[in-house]
Amino acid sequence: MELSIEDKKIISDSIRDIKDFPKEGIVFKDITTLLNNKEAYQVLMNHLEARYKSYDLDYIAGIDARGFIFGAALADRLKIAFVPIRKKGKLPSTTVCEKYELEYGFDEVEVHLDAFNGDKGARVLMIDDLLATGGTANAAAKLIKKLDINLVEACFLLNLTFLEGEKRVSEHTKVYTILDI
Ligand code: AMP
C-alpha cells in the first residue's frame, strides 16, 4: 500500500530543513513541524495503520528517540505492543547491545533482554523517522535478530537515498520508506 502523491506532498511540506544543525554542513530534517500539524500527522498515521494492519504484527520496535513517537502511536492504533531500542545507558534492566561506527568514533544501541517477553517467533516492525547511512538501523536490526525475533520490515518516514543506508538495512529485512530524498 503506497501513499497518494497528494498525501506525500502534505507530509513532505510539513517537514522543515534546518541548515547546519547539529553541526555545519548537515541539513537537519525537522519533524516537529509534522507533529504539530494535525492534518499531516493524521495523514501519516492513517497511512501507517492502513499499510501495517494486515501484517499480523506482534510488536513495533521504535528507535531512540523520534522512532518512539511514530512507533508508539502506531502500536496503539494496531492494538499491539511497543519496544524501545535505546541509545546506550538508558535502559534500567539487563540489555543486549550492538556497537556501530559513526563518522568519528562509535555509538551503541541496546534493548532489554526480555523486551519481547521471550516470544521467539514474534513478528516485529522496526521504525525510525529517518534513514541516513543506515548505521543506527543496521545495529538495531542486528539487536532484534540476536533475540531470535522475526523482523518483518523496517519503516522510515524519510530516506536520504544518496547515503545508501537502505543497502545496509536490507541485508537484514525488507525496507519501506515513505519519502525518498
Ligand atoms: P544513520 O545511522 O546515519 O542512518 O542516522 C540515522 C539516525 O540519525 C536517525 O535516528 C535520525 O533521526 C538521525 N539523523 C541522521 N541524519 C539526520 C538528518 N539529516 N536530519 C534528521 N535526523 C537525522
Domains of the chain, residue spans: 55-180
Q: What is the pLDDT of residues 63-73, one digit of tens each?
A: 999 999 999 99
Mean pLDDT of 76-104: 95
pLDDT band at 54 (very low <50, low <70, confident <90, very high): very high
Mean pLDDT of 70-79: 98
Q: Which tops the pLDDT comparison, 120 or 14?
A: 14
Specify the pairing of strand 95-101 against strand 16-19: unpaired
Q: How far is the CA of 177 from the centre of ligand 1 (A)?
A: 14
Q: What is the pLDDT of residues 154-171, one digit of tens each?
A: 999 999 999 999 999 999
Evaluate if residue 103 carries a pLDDT over 80.
Answer: no
Percentage of the chain lying above the pLDDT 70 cut: 100
Evaluate if residue 1 carries a pLDDT over 80.
Answer: no
What gap in Å lies between CA 121 and CA 42, rounded to an integer?
31
Across the beta sheet with 81-87, what order do the strands follow? 95-101, 106-112, 81-87, 59-63, 123-131, 150-159, 174-180
Give the architecture-level CATH label for domain 55-180.
3-Layer(aba) Sandwich (3.40)
Q: How far is the CA of 1 from the centre of ligand 1 (A)?
A: 25
Q: How far is the CA of 130 from the centre of ligand 1 (A)?
A: 5
Q: How far is the CA of 163 from the centre of ligand 1 (A)?
A: 11
Is 136 touching ligand 1 by the criterion CB < 6 Å? yes
The percent of the chain in helix, strand and coil, each rounded to the nearest 5, is 35, 35, 35
For the CA of 130, the closest atom of ligand 1 is 11
Among positive and negative, which fits the CA dihedral 84, 79, 137, 143?
positive
The length of the chain is 181
What is the chain's alpha carbon radius of gyration, rounded to the nearest angstrom?
16
Mean pLDDT of 116-139: 96
pLDDT band at 102 (very low <50, low <70, confident <90, very high): confident
Do the Cβ atoms of 146 and 117 come closer than 8 Å? no
User: pLDDT at position 147, please?
Assistant: 95
Q: Note the pTM of the prediction, 2 decimals.
A: 0.97
